[in-house]
């Protein structure tokens, strides 16, 4: 095993409380609200379109928060830096099209194999070599093709649910105009608050009936291992974890004077993915946006405390997953579509920038177009073929880009 050494001594409760400050608590709350709002809307949108029941989606939410909170807590403590783990949003979006022709048991089987793959790459230290096989522009071309639908759904919501989508969009624009304001009040939190107020004024949505289902009752899913699901999902899921998520989080932490343990992070993602798959949850990853928020201010050596606060918030959120799932599903479709579209707007913008500003642009374009088209062979979904044909085309037609590496 080639895991990075932990930072000793591991802080105890007294040390954590001594290092914790109001700045870290505030950053943690903001980061958690960001993770628990629009990204959850994306998850529930995919689950609804894929035919999952409310109980199955509540189990999914439990895994994404409670189990990833259990990964975040020890990792942030033993390496004494902010290492928040949640779930791969591109991975969730990849699952949407797959659920139209694969059973959820087959998807869960792909989750398990992805977890094993990530675990193997982490403990052997091969993660760096494997990541180099997939140029980031081509990967992001696939991601852009997958995410574009959410941007279009937001535009559609401005027409079909104007009085809900328009105020939320206006809040996003107003809070994004000034960088200092956006830093103090993240635009997506403003969008969420305005959206909730708008729903209350309009009297939209229905009151969820929780009954006795307040605490989480995770469902244990029996995986089905089909070759079709393995081909379609495993490599794209692993690539989104390593190239689209972990790479972003690692770059953010490195830029803020941390030294993220790449092999240990990948290993933690593998373990987290294997456990989360038991309750139907998509693969674990190191989050970029949340780690960016909690490492944006405060003394760097004490920013790990913000990650610990987020871990405890995630544990609580996961325990009450049925409540939050029911509340979100009770809102109008325009509310969820606007939340999801706006949170992915900058991500989609960045995907296009990374894909088409430098090398591998033709491969990225082919990857984007095939993914967007819904192209399928042997009932294997477009993201896999987009990535594969993008890589092949780039290798054949952009050999100069590879020669310069």
pLDDT in tens, 41-84: 788 888 888 888 888 888 999 999 999 999 999 999 999 999 99
Helix 321-329 and helix 304-319, axial crossing angle in degrees, nearest 10: 80
- pLDDT confidence of residue 192: 81
Question: Would the CA dihedral through 318, 290, 287, 245 be positive or negative?
Answer: positive
Assess contact for 354 and 124: CB atoms under 8 A: no
Tokens of 261: 């343990």
Dist. CA 67–CA 285, nearest whole Å = 12
Neighbouring-strand partners of residue 86 = 285
Q: Which of 278, 286, 285, 284 is nearest to 258 (CA)?
A: 286
* The model's pTM: 0.76
Average pLDDT in the 143-160 region? 86
> What whole-number distance in Å separates Cα of residue 297 and Cα of residue 131?
30
pLDDT band at 170 (very low <50, low <70, confident <90, very high): very high
Q: How many CB atoms lie within 10 A of CB 76?
A: 26
Query: What per-residue confidence (pLDDT) applies to 75?
Result: 96
Coil, helix or strand at residue 377: strand
Q: Would you tell me the crossing angle of helices 361-373 and 382-397 to the nearest 10 degrees?
A: 160
Per-residue confidence (pLDDT) for residue 211, from 0 to 100: 58
pLDDT tier for residue 400 given thresholds of 50, 70 and 90: confident
pLDDT for the residue 249: 81
Contact 380, 228 (CB under 8 A): yes
191 — pLDDT class (breaks 50, 70, 90): confident
Tell me which range, 158-167, 185-194, 381-390, is most confidently predicted by mean pLDDT. Answer: 158-167
Mapped onto helix, strand or coil, the DSSP state of residue 214 is: coil
| Count, residues in the chain | 405
Cβ(243)–Cβ(283) below 8 Å: no
Cβ neighbours for 62, distance < 8 A, ≥ 6 positions apart: 216, 218, 279, 281, 318, 319, 321
Tell me the C-alpha distance between 163 and 204, whole Å: 10
- Going by C-alpha positions, the residue among 202, 153, 146 that lies closest to residue 383 is 146
**In the predicted structure, residue 378 carries a pLDDT above the cut 70:** no
* pLDDT at residue 321, rounded to an integer: 85
Element (H, E) at 229: helix 227-229
247 vs 231, higher pLDDT = 231
Looking at every residue in the chain, the average pLDDT score rounds to: 86
Greatest CA separation for the chain: 63
Distances in Å between the Cα of 340 and the Cα atoms of 35, 153, 197, 294 are 12, 9, 18, 22
Higher pLDDT, 25 or 119: 119
In this structure, are residues 43 and 65 in contact, taking their beta carbons and an 8 Å threshold? no
User: For position 381, what pLDDT does the model report?
Assistant: 66
The tens digit of pLDDT for each residue in 237-286 reads 998 888 778 877 887 788 778 899 999 999 999 999 999 999 999 999 99
pLDDT of residue 90: 79
**Angular region, 204: left φ>0, alpha ψ -120 to 50, beta rest:** beta
Nearest-angstrom CA–CA distance, 365 and 390: 7
Average pLDDT estimate for 194-199: 89
User: Is it the case that residue 216 has pLDDT exceeding 80?
Assistant: yes
DSSP 240: I
DSSP run (H or E) holding 286: strand 284-286
């Amino acid at each position: 095993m080639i895991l990075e050494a932990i930072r000793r001594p591991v802080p105890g409760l007294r040390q954590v409380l001594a290092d914790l400050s109001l700045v870290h608590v505030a950053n943690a709350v903001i980061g958690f609200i960001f993770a628990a709002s629009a990204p959850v809307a994306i998850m529930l949108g995919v689950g609804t379109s894929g035919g999952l029941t409310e109980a199955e989606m509540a189990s999914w939410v439990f895994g994404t928060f409670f189990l990833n909170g259990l990964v975040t807590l020890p990792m942030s403590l033993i390496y004494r830096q902010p290492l928040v783990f949640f779930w791969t949003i591109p991975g969730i979006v990849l699952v949407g099209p797959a659920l139209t022709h694969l059973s959820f048991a087959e998807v869960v089987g792909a989750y398990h194999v992805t977890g094993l793959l990530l675990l193997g790459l982490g403990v052997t230290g091969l993660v760096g070599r494997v990541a180099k096989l997939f140029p980031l522009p081509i990967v992001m071309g696939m991601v852009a093709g997958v995410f574009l639908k959410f941007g279009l759904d937001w535009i559609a919501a401005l027409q079909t649910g104007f009085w809900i989508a328009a105020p939320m969009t206006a809040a996003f624009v107003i809070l994004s105009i000034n960088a200092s304001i956006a830093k103090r009040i993240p635009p997506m939190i403003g969008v969420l608050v305005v959206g909730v107020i708008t729903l209350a004024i309009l009297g939209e949505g229905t009151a969820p009936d929780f009954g006795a289902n307040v605490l989480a009752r995770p469902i244990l899913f029996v995986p089905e291992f089909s070759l079709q699901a393995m081909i379609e999902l495993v490599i794209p899921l692993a690539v989104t974890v390593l190239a689209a998520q972990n790479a972003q989080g690692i770059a953010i932490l490195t830029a803020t004077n941390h030294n993220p343990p790449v092999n240990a992070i990948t290993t933690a993602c593998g373990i987290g993915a294997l456990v989360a798959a038991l309750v139907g949850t998509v693969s674990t990853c190191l989050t970029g946006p949340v780690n960016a928020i909690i490492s944006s201010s405060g003394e760097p050596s004490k920013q790990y405390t913000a990650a610990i606060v987020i871990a405890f918030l995630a544990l609580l959120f996961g325990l009450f997953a049925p409540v939050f799932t029911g509340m979100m599903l009770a809102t109008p479709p325009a509310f969820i579509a606007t939340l999801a579209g706006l949170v992915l707007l900058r991500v989609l913008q960045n995907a296009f920038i990374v894909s088409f500003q430098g090398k591998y642009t033709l491969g990225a374009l082919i990857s984007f177009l095939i993914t967007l088209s819904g192209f399928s062979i042997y009932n294997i979904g477009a993201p896999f073929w987009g990535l594969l044909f993008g890589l092949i085309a780039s290798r054949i037609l952009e050999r100069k880009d590879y020669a310069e590496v």
